[in-house]
Structure 1
C-alpha cells in the first residue's frame, strides 16, 4: 500500500480553535485505532463481498437476505446499539422490498444524532470473462481490492462500522452521540421500498446529520464532499414495425425493420458533436475546478483517437448537464442472427437530469421527442419508467464545515467540493421526510473504482482515510451540543 501508515493526524488550520493537548491525544489515539484495525476491516469487507447480493429481480433474493444478516451481525458486534434489526417494507406496487438493516442508540446530554447510510446490495457482475479475477472472489492486487461491491457500496458499510469501532475505542462504549445506522438492500434496484421504509420508521431514523457514504473522491490522495448530484430517468423503449419476422431478401429495401427504426430514432437524441438534442432538457450554469481532457481520457479509459462529446467545460458536462445513454438492447445476437427483418426491438435508456430540473419534466420532454421523431410511422411503447430527483447540498451548515475539517485532517489535503454525474435518487426522499437534517454525501470511491463495471475495485489507502475521516467527525460531534 502506498498510503502512509503514520497514525498521527495533521493539525487542521481551519478549525476555529487549536485542539487542546487532551483533544490532540484523543485524535492521535483515534487514528492509531483506525490503523491497527484496518486488517480486520478489510477482512470484514472481503467476507461481505463474497456474498453475491444482487438485488435485481432476476437474481436470487436469498443472497440479499444473507448479506443483510451478515451486516446486522457486524453491527450487533459493536455492542453500542440498543437494537439491530433486519426489516423490509413494501414497494408502491405492494411487493416486499429487499431487507435493510436498522440500528439505533439515542443521544444523551444534548448531543446530536447522526444517521449513517450505506447499501449492502450490488450490481449484477456481468460476464465473468470480463473480470481479471472472479467478481465475488475478493482479490488484492497492488493497492486495490477487486470484487463486485468492494467499493460500491460494501466499503461504505464497513467504513461506518470501522468508524464506530474507533469511536468506541477512544470514547468508550457509553459515548453521548446519538447514532442511527441504515443499511439499505435495494439501492442498485431503484430503492423501490425506500420511501415507505422512511415513513414507517420515521421516528427511529430522525437525525440532525445524515451521512450518505455512497460517492467518490477527487483522486486517491484528495478527498471530496459531493455537493451536487444529477437526477435520472430510465425506461424501456420498444419499437415495432412488423407483425412477425420477414425474410430480409424478399422484403428488405421496401419494408422498414424495427432495428432500422430504432437506430434512426436513437440517433436523434444527440447532435453531431454528441450533445443532447432533446428540447426541454436543461443545464445548470456552474463553476468547476480545473479538469483537463487528458485527465478525462485517463480516468474514463478513452481509446486513442476517440474524442470527448459535448461542449463547454468538461466537469460542467458531467455534473450540470443532461446525458442520455442506451444501456442495453434486446435484439438478436450476432451468433444467432438470421436473414430476417426484426419485427420488434427494445432498448433500455438512461437519462441523467441536471440539478434544478424535475425528473417528471425531463421525462415529458424526452417522451415528446421520441414520439415526434419516430421514423416510418413505427409503433413506439415506453414503459418500466423510473425517475429520481437531482440534489444540491446546502453548504452553509455546521455539519459541512465539520466534514471538511475532518477530511482535511485525516487526508492531509484540502477537500474539494465536487459534483457527481451519477444519481442517488433516494436523497430527495430524505429531504422530504427530514427537511431540517443536514445531509453529507461522502464515499470511499475514486476515479479508478469502476463502480458498476467489470473489475470494480477499492483503493485501500482511500478506504483507510475514509474511515479515519468519519471516525474523527463522529468523535468531534460527540463533544458538540446539538
Structure 2
C-alpha cells in the first residue's frame, strides 16, 4: 500500500473508500440488471423470475471472491406442505478469532400496481434527476447491491488479510411475509450464527443524512368479514328496514378512530419516547399530503409515526363501481392492517382489535376473522460496540453525523433473528430516503445515497475486521 495523504489516521480506511468509490458504476450496472427481473413472491406472478433473481445474486456473491460456500436454498413453510421462495446463503468462516457478520437483504419485490401511474416502465431501470427508477431499485435490491459492492471493495483492499467471518443471506419472500424465514434460520443455524447482523432494509433521515434504525413498529394484519343477511335483496324493496353488510362495515370501521383520526381501540399501547424536530411542511413534502388535507392524530408528528399505533384498511371485496346494482349486500370482507407500537406484543394488539370489533358490531352483524398475520416490533439495544462502529462508519462514509431513527413500518423477521441468535448485535440500516416511494409507483433510489451507503458499509466491515472478539 502507498502512503499517500489521507483524511483518516488509518490509511486503510482511505483505501477502502477509494475501492468503494471505484466500484459504484459496476454496482449500479448490476443493480439495473436485477431491477429487470420481475421477482414477485405472490403466487399469481411468474415464480421462475424469483429463481432467475436468486441465481443472479448467487453469481454476484461468488464473484466477490470472499465466500467459501454459496448456495440457493429453500425451507418449509410451517403448517403447510409448501416450500418457501429461493434464498441465497453464502458463508465464510472467521479466522484468528475475528467476529462473524451477517449481511441481510431480500431480492423479491412488490407487484408494480397500476403501471399507468409509472412515469417509466416499472421493470426498466431509468436514471432521472439523480435517481434510479424501477420496482425494487430501492426496496431492496439496492440493499443487496450495497452488500455486494462493499464485499468487492473489502476483498480488493484486504485480499488474504480479510479474516472476518461473513454470512450473506438474501431471502426471496420478505414482501410476501417471510413465511419460511423461521424454518430457514432453524435449518441453517450453524452456518448462519453471527456476532453482528446488518439488516439493509430500512431508510435514512434524508438523502444526505444517514440513520441507524433503533425502533420498528410491529404489525397485526387480518381479514374481517361482516355479514348481515342470508342472501342479497332488492335495495328498493327492503332498504331502510334491513341493514346491508356495507352499512354495518362502515359503521363498525368508523369506531376504530376518534374524530382526529387517532386510533381509538382500548388496549393498543403507545410508547413514550422523544423524537427529533420534524415540521408539518416536511411531512407534506415527503408523504405527498396536499395543503388542503390535514394530518391526523395528535402530539409530535414523528411520535405518531414511530411510537403510536395506526390502523389502515388496505383492501375490500365488494361489488365494483362498473358492476354496481340496486342490491343490499349480505357480506363484505376488508383487510385491516394495524401497526403496533414498539414494545407491545403483536398478539396482544390483535386480541385488543378483535375484542373491540366484536364489542362494536352494529345490528348484530356476524363477524369472522381470517388470514391473521402478526409480527412483533423491535427496539435496538444501542449499548453494544457494533452500533458505535456503525455510527462512526456512517459519519465517515456520508460526511454527516447519523441520526437515531424510528420507523413506522415493520420488519417482523428481526424478532426471529433475535430468537435464533440471541447473542448477536442487530444493526438496521438502509439505502432508502424519504422520497424513495418504496411499494408505490415510481419507486426510486437516490444515487448519492447509495454511494454513501456503500462507503459506510465498506468502512464498517473493514473496521470490524480489525477487531478481535
* Equivalent-residue separation in structure 2 for 1:338 and 1:143 (angstroms): 49
Give the whole-Å Cα distance in 1 for the aligned partners of 2:245 and 2:160. Answer: 64
* Stretch deviating more after TM superposition (170-179 or 447-456): 170-179
Deviation at 1:245, TM superposition (A): 2.1
Query: Under a length normalisation based on structure 2, what TM-score does the superposition of the two structures give?
Result: 0.97
Q: CA deviation at 1:72?
A: 0.7
Separation in 1, partners of 2:182, 2:140 = 20
Q: What residue is the counterpart of 1:16 in the other structure?
A: none
Match 1:248 to one of 235, 242, 245: 235
Partner of 1:260: 247
User: Deviation of residue 10 (structure 1)?
Assistant: 5.5
Q: What residue is the counterpart of 2:67 in the other structure?
A: 81
Secondary structure, counterpart of 2:23 in structure 1: helix
| Residue 51 of structure 1 pairs with residue 31 of structure 2 | no
Tell me, in whole angstroms, the C-alpha distance in 2 between the residues paired with 1:466 and 1:100. Answer: 23
Contact 2:225 2:334 in 1 (8 A): yes
**Contact 1:146–1:455 (8 Å) recurs in 2:** yes
Q: For 1:14-61, what per-residue CA distance to the aligned partner results, in whole angstroms no more than 9, with x for missing partners?
A: xxxxx2xxx22x222222222221111111111111111111232222
> Which runs of structure 2 are paired with 1:361-380 in the superposition (5 Å)?
361-380=348-367
Alignment match of 2:297 (pick from 310, 319, 338): 310
After superposition, where does 1:5-404 map in structure 2 within 5 Å?
Answer: 11=8, 19=9, 23-24=10-11, 26-94=12-80, 95-173=82-160, 175-404=162-391
Equivalent residues of 2:65, 2:155 under 8 A apart: no
Q: CA RMSD in A?
A: 1.2
Runs of 4+ in 1 over 4 A off after TM superposition: 8-11
Per the TM alignment, residue 247 of structure 1 is displaced from its structure 2 partner at its CA by: 1.7
Contact 2:269 2:344 in 1 (8 A): yes
1:377-423 Cα offsets, whole Å, 9 max, x none, are: 11111100000011000001000000000000011111000110000
Aligned to 1:470: 457
Give the secondary-structure state (helix, strand or coil) at the position aligned to 1:84: strand
Unaligned runs of 5+ in 1: 1-7, 12-18
| Structure 2 counterpart of 1:4 | none
Q: Secondary structure at the match of 2:166?
A: strand
CA contact (8 A) 2:98 2:164 kept: yes
Equivalent in 438, 445, 449 of residue 436 of structure 2: 449
Say if 1:212 and 1:441, in contact at 8 Å, map to a contact too: yes
Contact 1:9 1:31 in 2 (8 A): no
- 1:175-209 C-alpha deviation (Å, 9 max, x unpaired): 11110000011111111100011111000000010
Q: Deviation per CA, 1:146-191, whole angstroms, max 9, x where unpaired?
A: 1111100000000000000010111115511110000011111111
TM-score (norm 1): 0.95
Shift of 1:9: 7.9
Counterpart CA distance in 2 for 1:40 and 1:251 is 67
Q: Residue 107 of structure 1: SS of its match in structure 2? A: coil
Q: Secondary structure at the match of 1:172?
A: helix
**Contact persistence 1:86–1:100 (CA under 8 A):** yes
1:439 maps to which of 394, 402, 426: 426
> Residues of 1 paired with 2:39 and 2:328: CA distance?
39
Task: Judge conservation of contact 2:7–2:14 (CA < 8 Å) in 1.
Answer: no
| Deviation digits for residues 45-103 of structure 1 (CA, Å, limit 9, x no counterpart) | 11111111111232222111111111111111112211110000011123111110000
Q: Distance in 1 between matches of 2:179 and 2:26?
A: 33
Distance 1:244 1:58 in 2: 30
Q: Which residue of 1 aligns with 2:409?
A: 422
Name which of structure 1's ranges 131-140 and 156-165 shifts more when overlaid on structure 2: 131-140
User: C-alpha separation between the residues in 1 aligned to 2:243 and 2:55?
Assistant: 53
**Which runs of 5 or more residues in structure 2 are unaligned?**
none
